[in-house]
Amino acid sequence: MTTGTAIVINPAGLHARPAATFAAAAAKFKATVKVKNLDSSSEAVSAKSIVRVLTLSAGCGTKIEISADGDAEQTAVETLVGLVESGFGGE
């Protein structure tokens, strides 16, 4: 299992469009990919589900943990951390 952390910098947080982008990127990997809001007591959820990602209530400044287990887990984590750290392309 590989894990990484990132701070949500998108001003609107992980709202609908960034959550959809995040879930679509996670779905490209065969590995099991999960994401967790480290600033709350929430549990890790499937990063491949837009609905689950939205339940994290990850606003701007929220620290999240991304974990992957399986094929290309390192690449999955690096890709998703990079996506979050890029602000989802300024969406």
Residues designated catalytic: 15
φ/ψ (deg, to 5) at 69: -140, 120
46 to 11, 42, 89: CA distances (angstroms): 23, 12, 22
What's the rounded Cα separation, in Å, for the pair 70 and 50?
Answer: 21
